[in-house]
Structure 1
Amino acid sequence: MNTVSTEVLIIGGGIVGASAALVLAKAGRRVMVLERDLCGSRSSGVNYGGVRRQGRPEVQLPLSQRAHQIWGELESLIGTTGEYERSGHFKLARSAADMQALEAYAELSRPYGLGIELISGERLREQCPWLGGAAVGGSLCPEDGQANPRLVSPAFARAAQAAGARIIEGCEVLQVGHDGQSFVAEARHGEAPLQLRAEVLINCAGAWANRVAQAFGEAAPLTSGHPSMVVTEPIPHFLPWSLGVEGGSIYCRQVARGNVVLGGGRGYVLDEQRARASHDSILGLLPQAAALLPALRHVHIIRTWSGVEGYLPDHHPVIGPSSTQPGLLHGFGFCGAGFQIGPAAGEALAELVLHGRSNIDLDAFSIARFAPRPAVSTVSVVGTDGTDTPDLLSSHPERKIS
């Protein structure tokens, strides 16, 4: 069996893993990325393409703001614009209660500098003549925008490779563990077995990341979600902003070629790795789209798709160190909202490797928040020298991922 050693091994070549690899390679670290399929082909490549800060929970806004800065340097960073533009993101209100929620969020986010503008009444009709009567107002974040995930996500991996990272696509990790000295991963590259050894392991395996976490005794309640997406034929350009709706249910954007990308509802599973947009979700999506945007009433749908995304119950990702294994870092569970924040999450993971800390506070994203609560006991177990007993999970034999 061929054995390869590296300083940092990253499992998963999506936008988070590739971003981490890019930062590490530029810093001169030996880094290797293993991707089961093609880099950026999973959730990083099949998402809606929204690049928004608006609507994120407050705890995510510092990381999202850092990502906003990275997106502003995208072409120089990865060699392509990826069709990224700061077109603005407009979140629609369909009721007075929705509008109040948008007003509250504008106030909450004010210290973070999102620059949200509230639009309603006569100004809404003047500025948005393309809107149907279902909307009563909305909030505009002028510098949020959109990009093509099929271009952006693979480009991060290519940029990392150009900076010196080794990228191995079509490489499935079969088992992973720690032998007391280094991380050891058994993989299959095509038909060839491959063993990898590394000082640091970064788990960016997306919807399948929990298997890696479980191998080190720290399962997270990660579930799979399957967005339902459609794209229309090209039509005359009418939509200046990327759109969302307060309370969710539908989102859409129009690309330069005139096609309108819409999402909403859930697809269905074909198998562990594949999903399709569901007939019911599309039938539920189209009437909403026509009510909000009358220009869509008679357009043709030319393609539908779905994918597999990782979701956590509190709707926050896991970003940061393992609670059981030194040298292991996690970056997964972005709950369908990882495209914009992904480059900053990857950078933060790289900072932990390079400096032992990140410039962004990651405490809220620790995997330790999912650890079982210890049973209440009046007995304190200590070592013979009076200190707490050592962590018995500081090293692990190899464990199969299954």
Structure 2
Amino acid sequence: MGPQVDPVPEDDSRPDSADVVIIGGGIIGVSAALFLAKSGVSVALCEKGYIAGEQSSRNWGWCRRMGRDPRELPLIVEALKLWPQMEELTGTDVGFRRSGILYLCENDADIAHQENWLKIAGDHALDTHIIDGAALSALMPGATRSYRAALYTPSDGRAEPQKAAPAIARAARRAGAHILANCAVREIETTGGRISGVVTEKGAIRTGTVIIAGGAWSSHLCGSLGIRLPQLVVRASVMRTGPVEGGPDNAAWGRNLAYRKRLDGGYTIADGMLNYHHIVPGSFRYLSDFLPMLMQDWRMVRLRAGMDFFTGPFGLKPSTDPDQTVYEQHRTLDPMPATARLDEVHRKMEEVFPLLKGAPVLQRWAGFIDTTPDAVPVISPVQSLPGLVIATGFSGHGFGIGPAAGRLAANLATGDSPIVDPKPFRYERFIDGTKPRPTTGV
């Protein structure tokens, strides 16, 4: 079962119409709703389950510039301007702290890899630099293992996934947005070749603009409109401990382990490398799109075959109830965590930080990460269907970039000046013959 998420009260009524309808109540969708509502646009957000029920509450909680694909750097710079404002914008402490992030290097090859990122990032690297020796040891109090060096960004930080999106959703409602939980969109309607409305399980909403911010569900939603969106999902597992005294206050990534200090004093811990992909029909449909990434990152993804191919949420026959869509059948994706793998990661963490021994493991969970063939999101209008904007495929780095990505989606939905150049995130790159340029990000 996923982590407990701060509640968001449901709206009592569904509007008959809205300027913009957003599908998906993750951090991207609620951020778009907030900025639209604050600019006077009428907006209705429809979430089939509860706000932040899926990956927006299940991620590591990192807010990082470091290690990103160069195409994302301008957007994360804007996001890191918004995160410090989040408590004022929402009236809630969402746990954002500029506590710094480390990418740990075990050998010369690791150091060379991180130095290459510094060259690519250029001016966007800002305060990122290589550290070693005593400077690195000071950032890892309690560690009994030393590392050759680390890439370090003091201005990167962390926030609490279980608090952030719900707080933004509540702020969006106060600004005038309708936040409709347990309200699946069954159909996106078109008239005369453009968006004209949505049909939800609670009734229809007329609109000229729809933002699909459905995370793992976005490709399925686009497919219902005849739009090919190459997107697959990988299963990532996470655990959290009880409070620990004396450990590092920052976050770090290393081979086979990653950690983040939590606002409650415990640690979020995960495998730094390995995720799982469950083979579904889309795995074959988009094989040619994802093959370059699979060949590059084959050590980081393990394939799993099973009944998911037939009866899973993205399988051949995901729904058997004629009165319910697949979105209602699967209100919240809640996959089982890779418990054995997490136990191994926990042992490695205790070897590096013996002070973690005895700290209780309070919870383990997993989530489905929506990925694109180049690991860069789609934040884009669709030229073939006026009124449709897609904001998805954040490939495991959507939480930190979320507020700015939502703002960009809102800009594109209304035709306002975009917060950054949206060209790197255009949907058409997947259908116009552009070859994907995948990056690992670390």
The TM-score bracket by the shorter chain reads: 0.7 to 0.9
Identity of aligned residues (%): 29
> For residue 185 of structure 1, what is the aligned residue in structure 2?
198
Contact kept? 2:32, 2:410, Cα under 8 Å: yes
Match of residue 130 from structure 2: 118
Give the aligned partner of residue 309 of structure 1: 369
C-alpha contact (below 8 Å) 2:195/2:385 kept by paired residues: no
**Other structure's SS at 1:131 match:** coil
Query: CA separation in 2, counterparts of 1:256 and 1:157?
Result: 20
Q: Which amino acid in structure 1 is aligned with residue 407 of structure 2?
A: E
Q: Kindly tell me: are residues 3 and 174 of structure 1, through their superposed partners in 2, closer, same or farther at Cα, counting changes over 3 Å?
A: same
Task: Map Cα deviations across residues 299-351 of structure 1 (whole Å, 9 max, x no partner).
Answer: 43221011222111211111111132011100001111100101101101111
CA contact (8 A) 1:311 1:335 kept: yes
Is 1:137 aligned to 2:149, yes or no? yes
Check whether the contact 2:54–2:334 (CA below 8 A) recurs between aligned residues: no
> Which residue does 1:102 correspond to in 2?
114
- 1:20–1:347: 8 Å Cα contact kept in structure 2? yes
Equivalent residue for 1:251? 258
Per mean C-alpha deviation after superposition, the further-off stretch among 256-265 and 80-89 is 256-265
Q: State how far apart, in whole Å, the 2-side matches of 1:295 and 1:135 are.
A: 18
SS at match of 2:207: strand
Match of 1:45 among 38, 53, 57: 57
Q: Distance in 2 between matches of 1:349 and 1:342?
A: 10
Q: Which residue of 1 aligns with 2:204?
A: 195
Extract unaligned runs of 5+ from structure 2: 1-13, 279-307, 314-332, 435-442
More deviation in 315-324 or 290-299?
290-299
- SS across alignment from 1:105: helix
**1:76 paired to 2:83:** no
Partner of 2:220: 211
- Once residues 386 and 369 of structure 2 are traced to their aligned partners in structure 1, the CA distance between those partners, rounded to angstroms, is 27
Distance 2:235 2:100 in 1: 26
| More deviation, 196-205/358-367 | 358-367
Structure 1 counterpart SS, 2:104: strand
Match of 1:27 in 2: 39
| 1:90-140 C-alpha deviation (Å, 9 max, x unpaired) | 111111111121222223324015301311134434554433435211021
* Cα 1:161/1:126, change in 2 over 3 Å: closer
Question: What CA deviation, in whole Å up to 9, does each residue of 1:36-82 have, x standing for no partner?
Answer: 11112211111111111111111100000000001021111111121
| Counterpart in the other structure of 1:336 | 396
SS of 2:71's equivalent in the other structure is helix
Aligned to 2:97: 85
**Inter-CA distance 237–268: structure 2 relative to 1 (3 Å threshold):** farther
Alignment of 1:225-304 (within 5 A): 225-245=234-254, 249-264=256-271, 265-266=274-275, 271-272=312-313, 273-304=333-364
| Superposition deviation, residue 251 in structure 1 | 1.3
Look up the SS of the partner of 2:335 in the other structure.
strand
How much has 1:252 moved relative to structure 2? Answer: 0.4
Q: Displacement of 1:30 after TM fit? A: 0.9
Structure 2 contact 349–356 (Cα < 8 Å) conserved? yes
Residue 440 of structure 2 corresponds to which residue in structure 1?
none
Q: 1:22 to 1:122 in 2, by over 3 A?
A: closer
* Letter in structure 2 aligned against 1:313: P
Q: Which has the higher strand share?
A: 1
Measure, in 2, the Cα distance between the counterparts of 1:259 and 1:369.
42
Note if contact 2:230-2:372 (Cα within 8 Å) is conserved in structure 1.
Answer: yes
**Which stretch shows the higher mean deviation, 285-294 or 153-162?**
285-294
Q: Indicate if the aligned counterparts of 1:229 and 1:262 stay in contact, CA closer than 8 A.
A: yes
- 8 A contact 2:105–2:147 mirrored in 1: yes
Shift of 1:250: 2.3
Distance in structure 2 (CA, Å) of the matches to 1:215 and 1:278: 32
2-side partners of 1:224 and 1:126: how far apart?
Answer: 37
Cα distance in 1, alignment partners of residues 207 and 86 from structure 2: 30
Q: What TM-score does the superposition give when structure 2 sets the normalisation length?
A: 0.78
The two structures have a TM-score, normalised by structure 1, of 0.85
Paired residue secondary structure (1:282): helix
Question: After superposition, where does 1:378-393 map in structure 2 within 5 Å?
Answer: none
Distance 2:57 2:419 in 1: 27
Q: SS where residue 376 of structure 2 aligns?
A: coil
Match of 2:410 among 350, 354, 357: 350
Q: Which has the larger radius of gyration?
A: 1
Contact (CA 8 Å) 1:224, 1:309: kept in 2 or not?
Answer: yes
Describe the shift of the 1:127–1:185 C-alpha distance in structure 2 as closer, same or farther (beyond 3 A). Answer: closer
Q: Partner of 1:382 in structure 2?
A: none
Work out the CA distance in 1 between the residues paired with 2:87 and 2:55.
22
